[in-house]
């Protein structure tokens, strides 16, 4: 299966801990997007990355959140000192190119629960 | 603030009927439009995309776009109980933008 892969699928963290979410894009895709879906809310864009570059992080909270997409390995979304409001489903999407003519395909998501 | 609006539903249709899902968007410069299906607890699955005014058909699905009215719709013919899900409308604003802006989705229930 060459689809977008995310792990872990479920993650439980206590308040104040760190959460690391991983995403491997679809084969042949080099563009990665992270979205967050809060309960009863729509999907919200967080950040767009290409290999070794953050292109657009306009949707990222200013503090505690960071993302990377290294030359080798998966993209990582890192949340430091998690709070209960961070509990959500975090989805990664990938596309083969950038722009309005490229579809974004979503991974299965990581469901983060902060206790 | 770019907005995408959808009727939250639930929209209930009998099996075999046509389901019509609607979406409006605020950014007149938006260039491409996507419909995703999301089952409860699952991730969004791309169904269709449309760039040009008019209709685009793919199997039982037809997407319709009217840029002048800033309106896009999805028709599902011969609805099946397996079509019961939340349908998300997403809009790409075009060059210089990288993200999809999503509506909150319309929940569709197909009654056997």
pLDDT digit string (tens) for A28-42? Answer: 899 999 999 998 788
Residue pair B107/A56 in contact (Cβ under 8 Å)? The answer is no
The answer to whether the bond into A10 is cis (omega within 30° of 0) is: no
Chain A interface includes B35 (CB < 8 A): no
Nearest residue of A to residue B30, measured between CA atoms = A100
- Given this model, what pLDDT does residue B112 score? 95
Nearest residue of A to residue B43, measured between CA atoms = A108
Residue pair B105/B10 in contact (Cβ under 8 Å)? The answer is no
CB pairs under 8 A between A and B: 61
- Given this model, what pLDDT does residue A98 score? 85
Residue ranges of chain B with per-residue pLDDT less than 50 = none
Q: Which residue has the tokens 């993650």?
A: A11
Chain B interface includes A90 (CB < 8 A): no
Predicted confidence (pLDDT) per residue in A54-106, tens digit:
999 999 999 999 999 999 999 999 999 999 999 999 999 999 988 888 899 99
B103: how many CB neighbours lie within 10 A of its CB?
24
Q: For residues A41 and A36, what is the distance between their CA atoms, to the nearest angstrom?
A: 9
Chain B nearest CA to A43, separation (Å): 6
The answer to whether the bond into A8 is cis (omega within 30° of 0) is: yes
- Given this model, what pLDDT does residue B2 score? 82
- Given this model, what pLDDT does residue A86 score? 96
Chain B interface includes A38 (CB < 8 A): no
Chain A nearest CA to B15, separation (Å): 27
- Given this model, what pLDDT does residue A1 score? 53
B61: how many CB neighbours lie within 10 A of its CB?
17
For chain A, what percentages of helix, strand and coil (3-state, to nearest 5) are there? 5, 50, 50
Residue pair A2/A27 in contact (Cβ under 8 Å)? The answer is yes
Residue pair B47/B35 in contact (Cβ under 8 Å)? The answer is yes
């Amino acid at each position: 299966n060459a689809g977008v892969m995310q792990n872990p699928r479920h993650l439980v963290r206590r308040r104040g801990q760190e959460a690391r979410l991983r995403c491997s894009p679809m084969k042949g895709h080099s563009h990665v997007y992270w979205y967050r879906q809060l309960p009863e809310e729509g999907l919200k864009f967080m950040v767009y990355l290409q290999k070794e570059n953050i292109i657009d992080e306009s949707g990222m909270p200013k503090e505690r959140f960071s993302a990377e997409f290294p030359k080798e390995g998966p993209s990582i979304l890192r949340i430091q000192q998690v709070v209960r409001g961070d509990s959500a489903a975090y989805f990664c999407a990938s596309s083969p190119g950038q722009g309005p003519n490229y579809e974004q395909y979503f991974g299965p998501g990581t469901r983060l629960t902060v206790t | 603030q770019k907005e995408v609006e959808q009727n939250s539903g639930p929209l209930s249709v009998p099996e075999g009927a046509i389901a019509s899902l609607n979406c409006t968007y605020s950014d007149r410069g938006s260039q491409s439009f996507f419909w995703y299906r999301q089952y409860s607890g699952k991730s969004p699955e791309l169904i269709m995309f449309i760039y040009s005014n008019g209709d685009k058909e793919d199997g039982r699905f037809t997407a319709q776009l009217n840029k002048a009215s800033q309106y896009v719709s999805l028709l599902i013919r011969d609805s099946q109980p397996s079509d019961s899900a939340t349908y998300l409308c997403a809009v790409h604003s075009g060059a210089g933008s990288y993200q999809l802006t999503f509506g909150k989705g319309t929940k569709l229930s197909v009654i056997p």
